[in-house]
Amino acid sequence: MTQRVVVVKCGGAAGIDEARVCRDVAALVAAGDRVVLVHGGSAAIGDLAGRLGVPLRELVSPGEVTARHTDPATMEIVLLALLGKVKGEILAELGRVGVRAVGLSGLDAGLIRARRKKALRAVIDGRTVVVRDDHSGRIASLDGGLLTTLLDAGLVPVISPPAVAEDGRPVNVNADRVAARAAAELRADVLIMLTAAPGVLADPADEGSLLTDFRLPGEGGTPGHVKGGMAAKLIAAGEALAAGVELVVIADGRAERPALSALAGAGTRVHPPVDLPADRPAPAAPRRRTVPPTQELSPRNR
């Protein structure tokens, strides 16, 4: 029997229970799946920055996609939070539920390589400006062979930013796009992106307006009502689908069984544009599903 490859992206927003995600990873592994867990850490980054007195900024692109402004001080916070706190907590929890896991960042053995962004365009006070002090990059490669070696050994890779740039120094990259690239390199069957929302919402202010199916626009980009962190997730979903990943789900990381619920039908199934690729069956028309109210929606669904 062929083993299913499942990539799970655990968002780092407040309210997402990493222990529940780890419990679901254990269940998937016990069922015979090969699992890669990708994590962010926005809440931990914000908490540590506040304790150390480091101000954080977000940049909003002209397309209204939100990204962290990673200046030198923020880069240090990202390294400390992701590698020194979040990853260790996830690995400890996976060990507690009986999962043998290995923690890697993009810096380990050059797992994730990126091209450093020389400048970013951002909208500040209504004007589009160029930001040049940002330590972020675009993913150039991800070593799927290394992940396959770990999976073949019966291990669960737990991976995260940062990546390594051309000069050998760390750069921040979007964790959703790391998950999409990992899924593409592994030819994964499923990519699950867990966030602090029920899925893609028709009305971002109404958690009851869940879209159970979402067709990506054919012209690229994201619809005007989808902004911020969710827009970044849809971009990543599109990259995974274009690479041949069969199923991409954006689902609620605050649920009792977040990954298992996503596989059972919760959240939003994201579909490729009608013209890419042409041989994929068209899903039913987008449906809205009423969901029970949960805690207040986080401003950063990562």
Per-residue b or e along 77-101, where b marks 16 or more CB atoms closer than 10 Å to that residue's CB: bbbbbbbeebbeebbebbeeeebeb
Q: What is the mean pLDDT of residues 114-123?
A: 81
Q: What is the pLDDT of residues 170-198, one digit of tens each?
A: 999 999 999 999 999 999 999 999 999 99
Q: What is the mean pLDDT of residues 45-66?
A: 85
Query: What is the per-residue pLDDT for 226?
Result: 77
- Using the predicted structure, report yes or no on whether residue 200 has a pLDDT greater than 60: yes
Query: What is the per-residue pLDDT for 224?
Result: 58
3-class SS of residue 292 = coil
Contact yes or no for 276/218 (Cβ under 8 A)? yes
What are the backbone dihedrals phi and psi of residue 191, each rounded to the nearest 5 degrees, phi first?
-120, 120
**Could you give the CA distance from residue 40 to residue 114 in angstroms, rounded to a whole number?**
17
Q: Residue 279: pLDDT band by 50, 70, 90 thresholds?
A: very low
Residue with structure tokens 């390199």?
A: 185
Please, what's the largest Cα pairwise distance for the chain?
Answer: 56
Query: What is the per-residue pLDDT for 31?
Result: 97
Q: Residue 276: pLDDT band by 50, 70, 90 thresholds?
A: low
- Helical axes 175-185 vs 144-152, angle rounded to 10°: 70
* Total Cβ atoms within 10 A of residue 225: 13
Q: What is the pLDDT of residues 121-165, one digit of tens each?
A: 777 777 777 777 778 999 999 999 999 999 999 999 999 999 999
Please give the residue that has the higher pLDDT: either 102 or 15.
Answer: 102
Q: What is the mean pLDDT of the chain?
A: 87
Q: What is the DSSP string of 201-256?
A: BSSTT-TT-EESEEEPPTTSS--TT--HHHHHHHHHHHHHHHTT-SEEEEEETTSS
Please give the residue that has the higher pLDDT: either 117 or 41.
Answer: 41
Cα 104 to Cα 18, 160, 176, distances in angstroms: 17, 7, 16
- Using the predicted structure, report yes or no on whether residue 285 has a pLDDT greater than 70: no
Q: Classify domain 5-289 at the CATH topology level.
A: Carbamate kinase (3.40.1160)
Q: What is the mean pLDDT of residues 67-74?
A: 86
Full-model pTM:
0.86
Query: What is the per-residue pLDDT for 68?
Result: 76
Q: Residue 301: pLDDT band by 50, 70, 90 thresholds?
A: very low
Query: What is the per-residue pLDDT for 258?
Result: 98
Burial (CB < 10 A; 0-12, 13-18, 19+), residue 214, is buried
Q: Find, among 170, 166, 174, 175, the residue nearest to 75 by Cα.
A: 170
